[in-house]
A and B are shown apart, each in its own frame.
Chain A
Amino acid sequence: MKRILVTLLVALTCFCIFANGSSETSAEGPVTVTFWNGYTGPDRTVLEQIVNDFNASQSDVYIDMLIMPWDTLYQRLMTSFIAGDGPDLIGFNIDRLAEYASAGRLLDLGSYIENSEVIDPQIMAPALYGAGSYNGVQYAVPMSSTAVAMYYNKDHFRSAGLDPENPPQTLEELFDAWDKLIIKDASGNVTQYAQAIGVRSTVAMIPAFMWLYGADYIDAQGNVVINSPEAVECLTMLQEAFAKGVSPVGLTGQEADNLFAAGVASIEFNGPWAYQGFADAGIDVGVAVLPSGVDGVKATVGGDSVLVINKDSKVPEAAFSFIEYWNSPDVQRQWAVGTGAPPTRMDMMSDEEMLTANPNIGIFLEASQDARIFMAGQTLSSRFDAEALVPLYESISRGTATVEDALATAEATMNSILGN
């Protein structure tokens, strides 16, 4: 009966060897490029269509795409990088670029772009293209250039006596609308919130307010500048807003989306990907650029995602051929029409076919003119968010700390993260 054991061990070994073989790419047939990104939303189907089209359009390169939520993507990415089996092509958020670029995980795309007939730095969306360079090296090419806009529920506006075709254009008008939109029941519980404001695992909603007030987080020299009079003013406003029931406290981005989709919140700041979900949920949804801020300042959160190539990729040329395909006018039109995200190319900004097919693109295009990239160039952006900013927003919105104390704590935490 020892034979059984021996057989088992032999079988196991064979199994492993067999399994090994299957993971190697064969010499013939197309080159396989593994491609990871985080487009889990309604834009997923558009992206899958584009990849399928690409795979069908030629026989040299095959894109093997894996879509996963962004936070999973970053956690997976590092393990696979150190193991040396990372994906060839990655679509990730621009605010994570510095982290991976500084760690030397990404391929310098300079020479590829120089020799490219499709990617011309002159015509790419300037803010996002510019943010794709780190220490003077171009590591990234735009994937989706977009900006956060203001979604609002037209029915709520009508019942509150607001003009659904004329959303708030200044902060004063926004605050005025808030007061009219909040509905409370007899016992004082809010039954309709004015605006769903996410504070964690979300697109940057509070930073948009901070910028509208002229506050910022980190300056160009890398100094923490969060503790400013402007920030105090902005967060004091938000603390009062949360206290009177403008938004529930402690929302994640998904929960904020749910509230808006359920018709329980009247306004939400979000990107173009959210539109379809709101429309499917039966909301009569309006989209507009964010109101202008103090002293008429225009600002919103922009950026979204870029395409990068793994430095250890064995097939960088093939991966780059997809980057070129992606940024070609036809594909950009398809992506824009399908998702509402503006194209990455400036030469398409007045593309009639695109603008008529999806009227939202015009609004997101306008928004992207004023878009700033949150924590651009910061290698520690995710730690700032988790360890300093989320606690700051949470304590302010819950009123567990004064604005001054909370800001001082956040400033100290950010400095200590920088010091590490």
Chain B
Amino acid sequence: MKNRTLSSRYKRAGALMALPSMAVISLFIIIPIIYSLYMSLHDWNIMYNIKDFIGFDNYKEVFSDDRFWNALKNTVIYTVAYVPILVIASLLLAAFINEKFIGSGFFKSLFFIPAITSMAIIAIIFRFLLDGDIGYVSIMLRRMGFNVPDFLRDPSTAMGAVVLTSAWRWIGFYMVIFLSGFNSIPDSLYEAAEIDGAGKLRQFFSISIPLLMPTISFALITNLINSFQVFDPVYVMTKGGPMFSTEVLVYYVYYMGFNVFDMGYASSMAFILFVIILLFTLLQLKGFTKSETEGEYA
């Protein structure tokens, strides 16, 4: 009897603690989402105050829209290129920094700096640096004898340039995350491996990687979700061009919403995107639960 009142007291406290956050999330995220779902079922043009219910017509139209499929394809290309580059590069950097050589602490901070720089500023710099004619990078590469393309103005390289710029920005950040993962691996494991005669490379693959799995899966999941929602680098660097080669889904949503003012159409695309992300996450739910149980170490 006493236990029961006690546990209900805990529950009440828990509910009370979660209440403000849940109120904020409902008010500023969930209700707007429901509203935009409602919008997606309408021919809704905010410019002309048009608002006619049309059921799922927007969704049908989306599926026969070449530009949507192109944007989806570009989003997938971005994700498939960006996530592995980011995770592998930052993991490798972390592995070396973790050797704690002279000056490693300095480099740890150095690599982090791009992450605290705003994308708008990075875009200003990179658009200038990568200019095919007067960009410092192009000029240097040409002096070294390379035949360089016009990175951001060539449809075959523009997406690559956007991916590398984003990766450049976030590598230091994920390196720090992996470093803290390395820190929590007990030294005794490496010592034992050394006694068994395992080399550094062997240790990396059979000790570090398996024990870093929760961190790696965290990095993979968050970056998959974020890559599918990629917008900033495209908006500030290429505006979807040249020739739609960097137009990703959220950018197309933004274009339809804020240039064409067709909110119904924009919302329906956003919803399709949401469903895709949701499916991805469900597939990865294993990763979520795993890192969760691992979280319960003492």
Contact = CB atoms under 8 A, between A and B. Distances in A.
Contacts of A249: 150, 153
B46 A78 contact: yes
A417 to B, nearest CB: 9
A406 to B, nearest CB: 12
Interface stretch (A45-53, A151-159, A255-263): A255-263
A66 interface: no
Given A2-B16, A5-B16, A103-B48, A394 B243 contact: yes
B181 interface: no
Nearest to A187: B147
Given A79-B258, A200-B241, A383-B259, 14 more contacts: A5-B20, A8-B20, A78-B258, A103-B47, A103-B48, A187-B147, A193-B133, A200-B239, A248-B133, A250-B153, A255-B131, A258-B131, A258-B134, A391-B243
B255 interface: yes
Nearest to B239: A201
Contact of A75 (B154, B155, B258): B258
Given A78-B46, A99-B47, A250 B150 contact: yes
A305 interface: no
A225 interface: no
B242 interface: yes
A320 to B, nearest CB: 25
A383 B46 contact: no
B214 interface: no
Interface in B2-54: 16, 19-20, 46-49
Interface of B: 16, 19-20, 46-49, 128, 131-134, 142, 147, 150, 153-155, 239, 241-244, 255, 258-261
A82 interface: yes
B153 A82 contact: no
B47 A248 contact: no
Contacts of A258: 128, 131, 134
A383 B258 CA distance: 11
Contacts of B259: 74-75, 382-383, 386
Nearest to B134: A262
9 contacts: A5-B19, A75-B258, A75-B259, A250-B242, A259-B133, A264-B133, A391-B243, A398-B243, A400-B243
Contact of A78 (B150, B255, B261): B261
Contacts of B131: 255, 258
B153 A248 contact: yes
Contacts of B134: 258-259, 262, 264
Main secondary structure of the interface of B (DSSP, over half): loop
Contacts of B255: 386
Contacts of B147: 187
Interface string A48-83: 000000000000000000000000001100110010
Interface string A1-27: 010010011000000000000000000
Contacts of B241: 200, 250, 390, 394
B46 A82 contact: yes
A37 B21 CA distance: 39
Output the residue of B46, B47, B48, B239 with the most chain A CB within 10 A.
B47
Nearest to A79: B258
A306 B153 CA distance: 33
A408 interface: no
Contacts of B260: 383
A44 B162 CA distance: 31
B153 A78 contact: no
Contacts of A8: 20
Contacts of A82: 46
Interface in A172-225: 187, 189, 193, 200-201
A258 B20 CA distance: 51
Contacts of B244: 391
Identify the interface centre among A74, A193, A249, A264: most chain B CB within 10 Å of its CB.
A249
Contacts of A2: 16
Contacts of A395: 243
Nearest to A1: B13
A118 interface: no
A251 interface: yes
Contacts of A103: 47-49
Given A78-B261, A262-B134, A383-B259, A251 B153 contact: yes
A404 B5 CA distance: 82
A9 B243 CA distance: 50
A2 B20 CA distance: 12
Contacts of B150: 248-250
Interface string A389-412: 011001100101000000000000
Contacts of B261: 78
A242 to B, nearest CB: 12
Name, among B134, B142, B255, the residue most crowded by chain A CB atoms within 10 Å (CB to CB): B134
Interface in A126-177: none
A264 B133 CA distance: 8
B133 A9 contact: no
A74 B147 CA distance: 40
Nearest to B259: A382
Contacts of A5: 16, 19-20
Nearest to B19: A5
A82 B47 CA distance: 8
B76 to A, nearest CB: 22
A103 B243 CA distance: 30
A78 B47 contact: yes
Contacts of A193: 133
Contacts of A400: 243
Interface string A252-278: 000100110010100000000000000
